[in-house]
Structures are given as C-alpha cells and as structure tokens.
Amino acid sequence: MEQKRPDAVQKVGIIGAGQMGNGIAHVFAVAGYDVVLSDLTQELADEGLVKIKASLQRSVDKEKMTKDEAAQALARVSAVSSLDDIANTDLVIEAATENEQIKRQIFEELCPKLPEHTILSSNTSSISITRLASYTDRPERFMGLHFMNPVPVMQLVELIRGIATNEDTFQVFKQVTDSLNKVTANSEDFPAFIVNRILLPMINEAVYTLYEGVGSVEAIDTALKLGANHPMGPLELADFIGLDTCLSAMQVLFEGLADSKYRPCPLLVKYVEAGWIGKKVGRGFYDYRGEFPVPTR
C-alpha cells in the first residue's frame, strides 16, 4: 500500500552519490520526492545519476515498474557538485564516506546555507548521532537514518535519535520512511546501532577464522551459507559492504565500548592497508577481475 508523503517534506538533498547515496536517491525519487544529489565533483554526481538510471532499468526489466514510471522518477533527480545547490531543500541526508571528520566538515559548511525549517540526518552505519548533531546548528532537528545496502532492495531503515532529537523531527522521519514503503527499527544511539552491532562482529570473527587458519575463504563462506542458511557468506558480504567500511565500524565499536571482543582482526587491517577493500575496487577476500570471483587466500 502506497503511503502518504508528509507535507513538510517535498524536496530532499542527498550528500554523497556513491553506493549508498545513489540508492537513497533512487527510492526517494520513486516515492515521488524531488531529489538533489550532490558530490565533490560534477563527474561523481553524474556517475551517481547513471547508476540510478541503470537501477531503475533493472526494476523495469523485472516488471516492478513501467518505463514511464522509471522516466518520471529519473526526471525528479538532479545531480550537482556544490552544497549551495542543497540549500533549498526540506530534508538533507548525509551519505558521505564513513569518516567522522569528513561528516563534520560537511555539516559545518552546509548548515549556514540551509533554511531554518530543514531537518538533517546522517546515513552513518556506526558513528554517534548525538556527536554528529552537535556539529550542526539544529541538533534537535537531526537524527540517524540508516539505510541498508542495496537501498532499493533492502526493506529496513534504522531510525536513531540523538539525545537532542525532538519528537516532531522523529515523527517526520518516521512518516518519510513509511512513504518509501520501508520498515523501520528504532535504535538507541549506541555504537553501530542494532544491525552492525550484531553483523560486524560476525564478519570480524569470520576474518579471525581465516587469519587463524581454521578455514579458507571458500570454506568459511560455504559453511555459513549452508550451515546457517545465510544468503551470502560473511567474507563475500564484507567485500560487498567494503572492507574499509567494515574496519571503520569495528573501530567505532572497539573505541566506543572498550571491549576487546570488538578488536578489529589484524588481517582485516592488512587488507585495507593493501587497498584490497572489496568488490568496488576489484579485490578483497575475493579477486573480481576475472570472469568469476576467486578467493585471495
């Protein structure tokens, strides 16, 4: 059943046109919102738009929407390269790289450009919402809106209130996510929230299992797929998420909770140091440069 869009939100700004940002733009455009998709350069923003077009075409091919509906959705998205172009929006979602200092710089630069009514959010998968909100001029109108990857396919959105988030802001974000036909889970503002608090230590433990020689990449992934009925093995999933993102989330958990069980596996650190950060660069726990993925260990 199609949900009604809240009157308070007509135009949405999304900062970051990468894997998460273009997926978020896709679902908002399909739901009828006008979307401004921003990145550091026009080329990066345009690449995000190309990926949205391809994603919409897949929906057409699967008969989930018509060609006209896809064309209308694409027409609602504009790609820009300046935060100035985000200014005239009702809601902003920051979907930049999982680095707190980068996010802080974005919010400090963005806030003076925004009208007073604009509400803010971050798609961070692990960083404190309360702390991110403190970098803005409107912490009471800021909260976490954590989409899952790939955004057009995954049903869940985590809603995370910071200490200062007011009830009106929460209700608008709840209405917005409902209008996207997503299912929400409310999380308290603790490191990595719900999904990654559970998922990332499992991935980290899989890397330890590889590191300690308990099993090969292939054996570990096969064991979890067939033994726990997971659709994707943990190392394959880590490659899909990005090993840099996995490491960042584990560091947030380790530093935020001060428990040794969250210590990032040294092998995960080494892969990130090597630049082998997963599918997006062609190599991680698998090498994706050939016809079929091949385990790298």
191 alpha-carbon distance from chain centroid: 15
> How many Å from the N-terminal Cα to the C-terminal Cα in the chain?
47
> Which residue out of 146, 179, 236, 248 is catalytically annotated?
146
With CA atoms as reference, report the closest residue to 170 among 184, 190, 153: 184
**Of the listed 59, 98, 123, 158, which one is catalytic?**
158
Q: Are 267 and 209 in contact (CB under 8 A)?
A: no
26 included as an active-site residue: no
125 is an active site residue? yes
Q: Are 206 and 232 in contact (CB under 8 A)?
A: no
Structure tokens at 47: 């690449």
Buried b (16+ CB within 10 A) or exposed e, 159-181: bbbbebbeeebeebbebbbbbbe
For 245, what's the count of Cα atoms within 13 Å in the CB-facing half-sphere?
A: 24
Enumerate helices (H) and strands (E) in the chain, giving the number of each.
11, 10
Task: Identify the active-site residue in 128, 187, 196, 248.
Answer: 196
Residue 146 appears among annotated catalytic residues: yes
- DSSP secondary structure of 112-139: GGS-TT-EEEE--SSS-HHHHHTTSS-G
Catalytic center residues = 125, 146, 158, 196
